[in-house]
Amino acid sequence: MSDKRKSNLIKFYGIIFFLVISKVNSIQKFSEQPHYTEVNPNQDALLACKIIDRKGSCSWQKDNKPVGIYPKKYEWASGNSNAIGSQMHSSDCSLWIRKATLEFDDGFWECQVTASDFITQDALTSQPVKLVVRVAPQKPKLEHEGQNILPGSNVTVDAGAIATVKCVSHYGNPPAIIKWFLGDQEIAPLHPQINSSEPDNPKTWSATAVVQVPATKERQGMILKCLAFHEYYSARTVGVEAKMDVRYSPTIKLQGSPQIDLEEGKDSLTLRCEANANPPASIVWRRAGRPEIASLTESLQLRPVSRRDSGLYSCQAQNSVGTSDALSFLNVLPKVTQLQLTRITSQGNVWLERGRESRLVIANVTYDFQGEYECRANNFINGQKRSSNSDTISLQVVGAPQVLRSNSSLYQVIVKRGESASLTLVVCADPRPRHVAWEWGSLKLEAGAGIGRFRVDDVTQDKREDCYLATLHINQADVQDSRPYYLVVENDRGADRHSVMLTVEGVFPETLGITYFLGITAVCAAVLLILICWCVYIIRNKNQNKYKATDKDSEKTDLKPRHDLIGVPHLEPTYATSSSARFHLPTQRNIIHGSPEAMKITHQYCDDLRQRLLLFRYHQNVDLNFRYNIG
């Protein structure tokens, strides 16, 4: 195939491809479809509809019926209201609806475009969209148990029950949105609101929402509100409300009930029976054993009381829901006209508490009992004390110091390791103590002194007469500080001694544990070193004993080489000669290290032997390799 023919085929296929692509791209389609729209009555509404590559004719349908183009009612948004041919070249098929009305314009609208040509079949139809012409709903209404709740009325329900309330909004387009509020808090409905068209006006809607409110005493008097939201309301919302009327049986609170006896002819009494109830309860006062009613009001007054008023009183509160009762007992005593006091006797003893005899004897007087005392006879009527007192008796305790032992909690102090501990005891003495000290172990600290972590405060005055505070402070207490600490007090009349137990809770810290471990290791190492030194000492001692025996034997030997010579070195001559001459040297097999004297003899022997060997070499002209060892 020639190049020219190939070129022509390529051009042909290119043209075909271009025509196909152009045909595909020229298919008309939506660039914008109409959408849901709301409009107020007598206002204009625009339904948007725009087409890409439009070649067909635009048209609109409402509720599946075609709509014509009418001046001042339905007009093209492109501004051209001529025949179809004049708006063929515009891609905007949007429609203006002038002065919308519910009757003619509310409904579902569709935008349609005819096909570009018979073959292409690219006609378009949009999704139906709702055009809503707004109508303001009526004011919502409340219903409870099938009855309408009139303005100013209540939602009445018994405590513990559930109030089911319905809110209905009629003839709105679109339907109103309903929300519930109890007080200022929004509450959820029982289920989503139900919207339904009105039977007598199908283009409008009713909206219904139901709420359930558990009735409790706390919700009595709260406001339940239903709010309807709609865009055509002038304030965007209209509401209706009702008060929660929660009915419950009475609960009684009795005030003024006497807790003590009353005095006849002098005291007055007012009892109040306060009933919390809805609806309000009726009050009846009765006295046990009597048929008549004591009172029909909240208050029962007895001014003054008499002995015939004694007895059990009941208050009864009753309403349509239930009944409640409360009781009060009244005891009226005769007036005390005279209190005669018998004798008061004290023999150096104090009265600890109220007694029933004229004399109270207590042994073992302590400084705790020092002070002024009186005998008092009391009678309590109507909460008031009737008393008759004797003359005061002053008791002064003089003697040796005494550490107070009445409070056992002071005898033991527990602190954590590292905290500061303060040990305090109260000591009483008259005359004043002249010596105060704290003792523990072998240590003793006077008042006002300190050592290391320990400090003793100066004696200070206690709130009681002739009593003083003695305090020992221990800073950064440690476990080894746990022990008893003794307070020693002396004055001119004697001395006293008492202990306080200090307990320091805690464990050894990590650094302290390491210190103890290293200490134990050091002790073990020292013991091991001592054992090694002792063993070395024993061995050296044995060697010294051998040296002494060698010295004695060496003094008895001569310089002749012997096999049993002690202290003579072991000589092993090695020689080689060119002739058959042989020279034998004396040998010593046993080498024993001896004393210095023995070593001296050995060196002399070696020198003499060396001279003999040199002389032998000279005469025999032999090559001699000589080696000897001196131990």
Contact criterion met (CB below 8 Å) for 596 and 578: no
| CA dihedral angle for residue 95, residue 100, residue 104, residue 108, rounded to 10 degrees | 50
Same domain, 183 and 261: no
Determine, yes or no, domain membership for 107.
yes
**Structural domain harbouring 265:** 256-333
**Distance in angstroms between the alpha carbons of the first and the last residue of the chain:** 120
pLDDT in tens, 461-519: 888 888 998 999 999 999 898 999 999 999 988 999 989 999 999 755 545 556 667 88
Question: What pLDDT does residue 630 have?
Answer: 35
Boundary (domain end) residue, out of 98, 133, 168: 133
Structure tokens at 116: 């570009």
Residue for token pair 């221990």: 474
**Strand 412-416 versus strand 494-505 pairing type:** parallel
Residue 561 confidence class, pLDDT cut points 50, 70, 90:
very low
Task: State yes or no: pLDDT of 336 exceeds 60.
Answer: no
Please report whether residue 547 resides in a domain.
Answer: no
192 and 225 share one domain: yes
Which value, in Å, is the radius of gyration of the alpha carbons in the chain?
A: 63
Q: Determine, yes or no, domain membership for 109.
A: yes
In the predicted structure, residue 131 carries a pLDDT above the cut 80:
yes
Q: Are residues 125 and 154 in the same domain?
A: no
Model pLDDT, residue 40: 94
| Residue bearing the bigger pLDDT, 569 or 604 | 604
Give the whole-angstrom CA distance, residue 25 versus residue 19. Answer: 10
pLDDT tens-digit series, residues 347-370: 333 444 545 666 666 677 777 777
- CA-angle at 90, arms to 87 and 92, nearest 5°: 105
- CB 232, CB 352: distance < 8 Å: no
> pLDDT category, 82, cuts 50, 70, 90?
very low
Residue 135 has pLDDT above 90, yes or no: yes
How far are the Cα atoms of 178, 372, 379, 388, 391 from residue 385, in angstroms, in the given order? 68, 21, 6, 10, 19
Tell me how far apart the alpha carbons of residues 382 and 264 are, in angstroms, rounded to a whole number: 10
How many whole angstroms separate alpha carbon 174 and alpha carbon 106? 11
CA 230 from chain centre, in angstroms, equals: 48
Out of 248, 265, 300, a domain closes at 248
In terms of domains, do 226 and 286 share one?
Answer: no
Same domain, 295 and 320: yes
- How many domains would you assign to the chain? 5
- Higher pLDDT pick, 169 / 349: 169
- As given in the structure block, the two tokens for residue 586 are 């004396």
> Quick one: 163 and 68 in the same domain?
no
- Taking the whole predicted model, whether its pTM rises above 0.85 is answered as no
Question: What pLDDT does residue 24 have?
Answer: 47
At 333 the pLDDT is: 80
Instruction: With cut-offs at 50, 70 and 90, classify the pLDDT of residue 388.
Output: low
- Same-domain check for residues 197 and 273: no
**365 within domain boundaries:** no
Tokens of 469: 């505070």
Residue 350 in domain: no
Asked if the model's pLDDT at residue 53 lies above 60, the reply is yes
β-partners of residue 32 are 50
Provide mean pLDDT across the span 180-204: 95
The answer to whether residue 529 sits within a structural domain is no
- How many angstroms separate the CA atoms of 45 and 35, rounded? 12
Clarify whether residues 36 and 92 are in a common domain: yes
Q: Give how far Cα 326 sits from Cα of 201, 251, 298, 450, Å.
A: 62, 9, 12, 68
Provide mean pLDDT across the span 404-429.
Answer: 83
In a domain, 566, yes or no: yes
Say if residue 181's pLDDT is above 80. yes
How high is the pLDDT of residue 100? 95
pLDDT at residue 337 greater than cutoff 60 = no
What's the mean per-residue pLDDT of the chain?
79
Looking at the fold, whether 241 and 264 belong to one and the same domain comes out as no
CB 36 within 8 A of CB 46: no
CATH code for the domain of 38 = 2.60.40.10
Percentage of the chain exceeding pLDDT 70: 72
445 bridge partner residues: 438
Phi, psi (degrees; rounded to nearest 5) at 223: -95, 125
The per-residue pLDDT for range 260-292, each reduced to its tens digit, is 888 788 888 889 999 999 999 999 999 988 888
Same domain? For 416 and 499 the reply is yes
Q: 7 lies in a domain?
A: no
Residues 66 and 97 in one domain: yes
pLDDT band at 610 (very low <50, low <70, confident <90, very high): low
What sign does the dihedral 480-484-490-494 (CA atoms) show? Answer: negative
End position of a domain, from candidates 194, 227, 248: 248
In three-state secondary structure terms, 375 is coil
Pair (161, 237) in one structural domain: yes
Alpha-carbon span 126 to 29, nearest angstrom: 10
SS3 content of the chain, % helix, strand, coil (to 5): 20, 40, 40
